[in-house]
Structure 1
Amino acid sequence: MSKKNKKHQEHEEHSDESWLLPYSDLMTLLLALFIVLFGMSTVDAKKFQEMSEAFQSVLTGGAGVLDQTALESNTKTSPDPEDVSKTDNLMKQKKELMRKETENLEALKKQLDNYIKNNGLTTQLDTKLNQSQLMITISDNALFPSGEAQVKPDARALAKAISNMLQKFPDYEVIVSGHTDNVPISNHEFASNWDLSSVRALNFMKILLLNENLDPKKFSAIGYGEYHPVASNDTNVGRAQNRRVEVSIIRKYQDGDQQIGMPATHEP
């Protein structure tokens, strides 16, 4: 074989690969283009502008798209010191308001407890302060004749005493709720225990509001009937505990999930 033919075969076996360089550049540009197109389909105009600038930076040898995205992510996750300071101040203010509120309700509870003790009403009235409210529980026989909703004449003094204490704390929501046992009632006046409990709560609230220093906008009356017992209805003692009126002074600042403006529920 001639030397000329031999050289020709070697040239064919080792072809020129210089075309790979522009091809790889083209693939890189296509990949960058697909990234931009994907970004256009998933981000808003502002994000698109940022992506476009990052794309230009890649073409001019600056920071890459991934580098710029990482930089923006780190910048956005850094909390604003001013926002942190405002949040801390709000938390401190809320804690201080909660502390003052607790002091107010503890003072009101102490007044109520002294009144109950001094008037020999420990078997008929009770007070309880928790994270949602200060509750005054009054047995039904202290307020109403059996099966009736008219407040006894001697119970009006109790209502007046409670209203006088409440007027010192005018900013609180007050809910008066009526409760019964599960013994059915049906007479010419009340078709059910629900009716009886509602009217009892309303009548007692009306007597409280005879005090003109109280704001009616802060008061509401609810009848729960037999559906929120605090004891078993299987005994006379339990049924007597379930027949009651509750006056709830609702906290304005609360921890936990207890809904503001609603009294705590009871289970038997």
Structure 2
Amino acid sequence: MSPRRRGRKKPEEHHVDERWMASYMDMVTVLMCMFIVLFAMSTVDANKFEKLRNSLATGFGAVASQTVDTASGTVVPPELVDKNLEAFAAVKGAATASPENMAEAIKEVDRLKALQAKMQAGLAAAGLSENVEFQIDQRGLTVKLVGSQAFFEPDRPELTSRATRVLQIISPVLKPAGMEIMVEGHAANGITAYPSTWELSSARAVNVLRYMVDDGGIAPATIGAVAFGSARQVNDDSTPELMERNRRVDIVVISDKPDVVRALIPEALKLSEK
């Protein structure tokens, strides 16, 4: 063989790029997982499915199951199923209430009504029932001091003599109860002595709080004050009489029961009034 031929370099080998195989194998793996999941989802426990179907049907009053009934509470009547959501939610809440929670709610209503009765009796004996209103709801018991001219000077935060006499009667009733109290100040539009209704309603709420603590003996750790200005009016301000309803201070005796019990207070109140 000639030297020239022996010195020739071997041709370079060309390798095909095989990186596409990694992506292909990933895709195949994902497809396999998807089919496994689809297979698992298609395998239904017939026994469990039948129990679920009967439970849902019985719970909504559509079918009266004779064999399996896992629904708890009172079955919602079929005629109430298509009512508006708010009404249905109220019925559902009452239907699913446990007897223990409803019993606690009834006891709480009795306690709040007892506090209300004591305060009403004291106010009636002193001739101060006018302009003092009471309301029981899921928050607790609210004592409404309605009408600024009865409890405050016009556009002023100082308590009138009538206001102090009312607080002298209700404070001794609330003191031994030991419940949390929130004093909420409200005001009507059209004030002139203050920059806004926020300052006026705040000053009135704080003055009521200070009297109940300093002279009524309410523990400072159980009472607070908040101002709503004219943001939560019960009437418009079209007439002086309607404006008086918005000039008020609410003394809210907050229930210390769990939320599930407090939510049942309105229903328990209806039962107690029957």
Q: TM-score w.r.t. structure 2 length?
A: 0.59
Matches within 5 A, 1:84-233: 91-138=98-145, 139-153=147-161, 155-171=163-179, 173-185=180-192, 187=193, 190-210=194-214, 214-233=218-237
1:93 is displaced (CA, Å) by 2.6
> Which residue of the partner structure matches residue 11 of structure 2?
none
**CA, structure 1 residues 36+154, in 2 after alignment: closer, same or farther (shift >3 Å)?**
same
| Aligned partner letter, 1:242 | N
The match for 1:69 is: 44
Contact 1:112–1:127 (Cα < 8 Å) also in 2: no
Identity between Structure 1 and Structure 2 (%): 21
TM-score normalised by the chain length of structure 1: 0.60
Summarize deviations over 1:88-115 as a string: whole Å, max 9, x none: xx92332222111100001111112212
Kindly report structure 1 stretches of 4+ aligned residues shifted beyond 6 Å: 33-36
- Structure (1 or 2) with the larger CA radius of gyration: 1
Distance 1:91 1:144 in 2: 45
Cα 1:118–1:202, aligned 2, differ >3 Å: closer, same or farther? same
Q: Secondary structure of 1:146's match?
A: coil
User: What is the rounded CA distance, in whole Å, between the counterparts of 2:234 and 2:123 in structure 1?
Assistant: 21
RMSD of aligned residue pairs (Cα, Å): 3.9
Q: CA deviation at 1:176?
A: 1.0
Is 1:37 equivalent to 2:37 in the alignment? no
* Stretches of structure 1 lacking an aligned partner (at least 5 in a row): 1-32, 43-47, 52-64, 259-268
Taking the aligned partners of 1:155 and 1:122, their CA distance within structure 2 comes to 12
Which segments of 5 or more consecutive residues in structure 2 lack a partner in the other structure?
1-28, 56-71, 74-96, 267-274
Aligned length: 198
